[in-house]
């Protein structure tokens, strides 16, 4: 390991917390600061430089367990950026464990990254409440709202500023369509996987006619056989269509974000009931998460190789080639999927965006029969641990 820290943070940590160890028992005190733009908060500039406080031993559980929402992929790059080269893959559990390093410096704790998707028997939020060893889960804002009544989570860092969720279509067959509203008038169906809240929103807004909604999407590249539109991710399916062995298909799409469904898609969230117990660790760790995501998107080669190796060792049908990873990174930059958002701070939760989304999403989720309490932004997200000076150049 490197003997000195290549300091890339531009200011000190938000605060210095003492060396009290975190107890394995959780605390039910859920007090936390309101969600405000991190740049509006005064940074504590009296603390020590990060090089003096990078050691997480005694403050954080070891391993720090992160439950992801899918197979290893580029969208998880910031977490894999923190994984040292000594990692070991357990293909049976779908878990990768190694030293947690920050800019080449061992932090004194291990990191365990668990695969989501088919490796899970229940949603990420539920797993977090069934297994106390999980510190972070990838939880979108809409997922946090929908599960809050039985499993309240608190997002402490947003890894992706904009949701890569899209509706896409064959651009050659529909050259004049530029929006979801356009294509919904031209195709026989808009296919999605199940009863998606964002699709209910699109119907409610008059963007997609209700009779055009097909909830039986199977995840296939169906534009090769059907003239429809379907859900996809900007970071993946357009490339897969471009490289089809049967012949390239030129696609067009619109981000669901751009029509008003502005959920933060991949927040790193904790079990909200454990906030006080985790606070000492979060104070040091969250700024590292911010900078790790920036380091990844700026210089991704090593981490992309790590993700590719983990995928290979897991030995599942899922694949992410270096070419697809390069496409995903370029797309995330081009569309500001990873970016500072409307503030200069990277990874913060912005107001009024999150407040407006809560107001927009709660009625729709209740229409689906979910028990959703009255919520405010600060119930599901906090900027308490965000360093407001960390910014994507």
pLDDT value of position 24: 32
Q: Retrieve residue 6's tokens.
A: 């290549």
Q: Is 213 part of any domain?
A: yes
356 belongs to a structural domain: yes
Is the per-residue pLDDT at 7 higher than 50? no
- Please check whether residues 145 and 270 belong to one and the same domain: yes
* Range 120-126 average pLDDT: 92
Establish if 17 belongs to a structural domain: no
Q: Are 325 and 333 in contact (CB under 8 A)?
A: no
Is residue 125 over pLDDT 90? yes
Give 176-205 pLDDT, tens digit per residue.
999 999 999 999 999 999 999 999 999 999
Half-sphere exposure of 244 (CA within 13 A, CB side): 16
Same domain, 364 and 314: yes
> Which helix H or strand E contains 154, and what residues bound it?
strand 153-158
- The backbone region for 51, taken as left when phi is positive above 0, alpha when psi lies in -120 to 50, beta otherwise, is alpha
Question: Do 188 and 295 lie in a common domain?
Answer: no
Instruction: Collapse the DSSP code of 232 into the 3-class scheme (helix H, G, I; strand E, B; otherwise coil) and give the result.
Output: strand
Q: Which domain holds residue 178?
A: 165-259
Write down the pLDDT at residue 104.
Answer: 85
**What's the pLDDT score for residue 9?**
37
150 and 240 part of one domain: no
DSSP 66: E
Token pair recorded at residue 294: 């920036």
Mean pLDDT of 213-238: 96
Look at the alpha carbons of 375, 259, 344, 236 in this order and tell me if their dihedral is positive or negative. Answer: positive
CA pair distance 203, 236, nearest whole angstrom: 25
Q: Are 197 and 279 part of one and the same domain?
A: no
Q: pLDDT at residue 19 above 90?
A: no
pLDDT at site 53: 55
Residue 18 lies in a domain: no
CATH of the domain at 252: 3.40.190.10
pLDDT band (50, 70, 90) for residue 52? low
Spatial separation of the C-alpha atoms in residues 392 and 71, rounded to whole Å: 26
Three-state DSSP class for residue 359:
helix
Question: What is the rounded average pLDDT of the residues 52-56?
Answer: 77
Kindly state whether residues 150 and 269 are assigned to the same domain.
Answer: yes
Mean pLDDT to the nearest integer, 157-185: 98
Q: Are strands 190-191 and 213-214 parallel, antiparallel or unpaired?
A: parallel
Query: How high is the pLDDT of residue 36?
Result: 55
- CA 62, 296, 97: angle at the middle one, nearest 5? 25
Q: Report pLDDT for 121.
A: 86
pLDDT > 70 in the chain, percent: 87
pLDDT class of 103 with cuts at 50, 70, 90: confident
pLDDT of residue 35: 67
- 207: tokens are 């963007």
Distances (CA, A) of 253 to 203, 237, 298, 312: 18, 10, 26, 30
Residues 154 and 103 in one domain: yes
| Average pLDDT score over the chain | 88
> How many helices, marked H, and strands, marked E, lie in the chain?
12, 12
**Last-in-domain residue among 259, 294, 323:** 259
Task: Report the SS3 class of residue 53.
Answer: helix
Who wins on pLDDT, 219 or 110? 110
The answer to the question of residue 19 being in a domain is: no
Picking from 216, 237, 259, the residue at the C-terminal end of a domain is 259
Residues 376, 250, single domain; the answer is no
Q: Residue 328: enclosing H or E segment and its boundaries?
A: helix 322-334
Domain boundary among 237, 259, 281: 259
- So what's the pLDDT on residue 45? 35
Structural domain contains residue 188: yes
Q: Please report the pLDDT score of residue 367 as a whole number.
A: 93
Could you tell me if 108 and 173 lie in one domain?
Answer: no
Tell me the average pLDDT across 31-57: 53
Of residues 67, 104, 74, 62, the one with CA closest to residue 303: 74
The burial class, CB within 10 Å (0-12 / 13-18 / 19+), for 238 is buried
Same domain? For 150 and 239 the reply is no
Q: How many domains does the chain have?
A: 2
CA atoms within 13 A on the CB side of 230: 23
d(CA 357, CA 141): 9
The enclosing H or E element of 366 equals helix 353-367
Whole-structure pTM value: 0.87
pLDDT tens digits, 262-281: 999 999 999 999 999 999 99
pLDDT of residue 44: 41
Query: Which neighbouring-strand residues pair with 242?
Result: none
Domain-embedded: residue 203: yes
Q: Residue 7 falls within a domain, yes or no?
A: no
Tell me, yes or no, whether 274 and 346 share the same domain: yes
Regarding whether 182 and 114 lie in a shared domain, the answer is no
């Amino acid at each position: 390991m490197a003997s000195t820290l290549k300091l890339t943070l531009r200011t000190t940590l938000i605060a210095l917390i003492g060396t009290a160890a975190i107890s394995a028992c959780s605390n039910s005190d859920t007090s936390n600061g309101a969600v405000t733009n991190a740049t509006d908060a005064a940074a504590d500039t009296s603390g020590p430089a990060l090089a003096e406080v990078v050691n997480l031993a005694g403050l954080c559980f070891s391993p720090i367990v992160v439950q992801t929402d899918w197979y290893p992929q580029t969208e998880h790059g910031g977490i894999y950026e923190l994984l040292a080269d000594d990692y070991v893959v357990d293909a049976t559990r779908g878990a990768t464990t190694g030293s947690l390093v920050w800019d080449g410096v061992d932090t004194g704790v291990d990191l365990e990254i668990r695969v989501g998707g088919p490796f899970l028997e229940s949603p990420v939020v539920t797993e977090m409440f069934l297994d106390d060893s999980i510190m972070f889960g990838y939880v979108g804002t809409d997922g946090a709202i929908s599960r809050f009544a039985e499993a309240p989570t608190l997002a402490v860092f947003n890894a992706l500023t904009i949701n890569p969720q899209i509706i896409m279509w064959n651009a050659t067959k529909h050259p004049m369509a530029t929006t979801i509203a356009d294509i919904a008038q031209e195709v026989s169906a808009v296919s999605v996987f199940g009863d998606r809240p964002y699709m209910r929103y699109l119907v409610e807004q008059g963007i997609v006619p209700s009779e055009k909604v097909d909830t039986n999407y199977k995840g296939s590249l169906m534009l090769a056989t059907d003239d429809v539109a379907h859900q996809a991710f900007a970071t993946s399916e357009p490339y897969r269509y471009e490289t089809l062995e049967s012949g390239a298909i030129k696609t067009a799409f619109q981000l669901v974000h751009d029509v008003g469904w502005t959920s933060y898609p991949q927040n790193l969230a904790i079990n909200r009931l454990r906030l006080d117990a985790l606070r000492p660790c979060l104070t040091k760790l969250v700024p590292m998460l911010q900078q790790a995501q920036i380091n990844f998107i700026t210089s991704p080669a090593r981490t992309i190789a790590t993700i590719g190796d983990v995928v290979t060792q897991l030995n599942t049908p899922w694949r992410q080639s270096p070419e697809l990873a390069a496409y995903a990174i370029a797309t995330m930059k081009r569309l500001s999927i990873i970016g500072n958002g409307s503030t200069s701070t990277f990874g913060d939760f912005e107001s009024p965006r999150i407040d407006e989304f809560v107001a927009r999403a709660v009625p729709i989720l209740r229409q689906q029969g979910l028990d959703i309490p009255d919520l405010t932004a600060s119930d599901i997200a906090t900027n308490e641990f965000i360093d407001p000076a960390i910014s994507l150049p």
